[in-house]
A and B are shown apart, each in its own frame.
Chain A
Amino acid sequence: MPILETIGLEKLFGGIVAAHDVSLAIEKGARHALIGPNGAGKTTVINLLTGVLRPTAGRIMLEGRDITDTAPHERVQLGMTRTFQINQLFLDLTPLETIGLAVSERLGLGGDWWRLVGSKAAVTDEIVEIVERFRLADVMHERTATLPYGKQRLLEIALAFACRPRVLLLDEPAAGVPEAERHELLATIEALPAEVTVLLIEHDMDLVFSFADRISVLVNGSLFVDGAPEDVARDPRVKAVYLGEELDA
């Protein structure tokens, strides 16, 4: 059984079809990439998966459970989180506070108004682990707004990871990261634990082909091709529609 599955997902904005009959199956532990030209509906699919948008038709199943009508924050509690193409961070908080917040929330302490943040050892331990994993230790006391962009991008993923997802949706994680800070980011993504299923939405073909073990191509809101990277790279229709010169070179 796929860990995340969509069945005939459909989204209309007025008369415009943003997603049409999208049936994706993402296997447990997969490194799955969703690619497509601009305006293909990639972000719409992410928004449908996370519950920001309601589908016009179709179902979404997470670990065999129908989550089509589940609220966004409940999907997080069920084990699926996302990052954003454009950073959505808490600029006035420090990375430490940000991660402490997410960890507290995941451990069910978010409604706790009496204890101090981090007064439980479990919270501190997890903060340390995440700060290490995402190489944020040296900047963890600084205001997020003042961090270099690459670090903010790492925090963007760290924050999603702090929710301990079983499915992690990465929306163009490398977008806009300067070359000098890129390596650190990619290494961190490579090092994500194998048991976490990753759905990667990306423009950067180098990243897609080095990282993904399965690729789905979205064109005009519909799934076009779905298969192993070699097959997708060979597929003449994909070359024609999307990849073009990029792969031939």
Chain B
Amino acid sequence: MTPATAPLAADVSRYLARRARWSPLEIGFWIFAFATIWLFPGKYLILKDTAILALFALSLDLIVGYAGIISLGQAAFFGLAGYFSGLIAKYGIVDEPVIALILSGFAAAALGFVTSFLVLRGSDLTRLMVTLGVSLMLGEIANRYSDLTGGADGLQGVTIAPVLGRFRFDLYGHNGYVYCLIVLFVCFLLARRIVYSPFGLSLRAVKENALRASAIGIPVKWRLVAIYTVSAGFAGIAGALLTQTTAFCSLDVFSLERSADLLLVLIIGGTGYLYGGLIGAVIYKLLQDWIADLTPQYWQFWIGLVLVAIVLVGRERIGGGNAALRAFIVRLGGRLLGRRAVPAPDRQ
């Protein structure tokens, strides 16, 4: 390198290093997240559910926000790993929860890998239908083999051993919450590492312009397969956490509602910056909790209204520019209001 380019080189390295630096806001976020362990001792159950939902939403953000794959079937991986972790605990195949959790993640990732080939081609609408179809099929399989899964009664008789042989899941949910929070944090670190790597950057390129991505030598297909597999693994870990902390698993882990709620969570929080799923999960759970207190019967009406308001008011900011997702939600919102759908403007 010539002396003339040295300042430029320093500028380039500095910029690249700064891309992935932790901002004070991020550090604050996580300090607060861990502080909730001491701040809200009576709220462990909802906190735990929020942490699981946040991890689940993070898994969806990896494919929607970073690879542009929209899915209505993330529950397939959540559910598969939920049953997987329940069964291996019930039959004493793997007792230690952390190892069981990792195995469940791999089981879901394996399903993700196999089904990823179905979502490589086609439009967003095809992807919605294919992903939805896979989760519905798995739900029906779990229903059919009720000898193993307990069918409509759910998987009974699961006992979860203490984490690392020491920390028993107590009645107040303290250990359960701490366990979920730590797992969420570790998975988040992993996801953060991935999105700032060359691999993560190549995903954004694929999302923006798959034609050009392949014209600079990126194997588009394999990158999508890889991130879909990782995302499935994360969703699986979330599902296994739910089973482990409740010692129960039922057919609703595969439900369409679970996948659809997850999309809501991600819309509320925004896609493509990793915190969207986390923030969305917190807002969603708070809303749910608060509104359910006010009107226990009709809380979903208010969630729907908030959603429509968010989409109509902040359409440009939400979604980090995911036109398809936005269009889908606007159409959904239009239907809820009983009006003709408002077409979302194309991104330009």
Contacts and interface: CB of A to CB of B under 8 A. Distances in A.
Contacts of A218: none
Centre residue among B193, B196, B218 by max chain A CB count within 10 A: B218
A158 to B, nearest CB: 11
Nearest to A127: B12
Interface in B214-252: 214-220, 223, 226
Interface string B64-84: 000000000000000000000
Contacts of A97: 19, 201
Contact of A101 (B196, B201, B214, B226): B201
Interface in B303-327: 321
A105 B13 contact: no
Of the four ranges (under 10, 10 to 19, 20 to 34, 35 or more), the interface on chain B belongs to 35 or more
A76 B216 contact: yes
A125 to B, nearest CB: 6
A88 B12 contact: no
A118 B12 contact: yes
Interface of B is mostly: helix
Contact of B212 (A89, A112, A118): A89
B209 A88 contact: yes
Interface stretch (A77-85, A174-182, A194-202, A203-211): A77-85
Of the four ranges (under 10, 10 to 19, 20 to 34, 35 or more), the interface on chain A belongs to 35 or more
B219 to A, nearest CB: 5
A160 interface: yes
Nearest to B208: A90
Contacts of A235: none
B20 interface: yes
Interface of B: 1, 5, 8-9, 12-13, 15-17, 19-20, 193-194, 196-202, 204-205, 208-209, 211-212, 214-220, 223, 226, 321
Given A89-B212, A118-B17, 16 more contacts: A52-B211, A84-B215, A92-B208, A96-B15, A100-B198, A105-B202, A105-B217, A105-B218, A110-B198, A110-B202, A118-B12, A118-B13, A127-B12, A128-B1, A159-B212, A159-B216
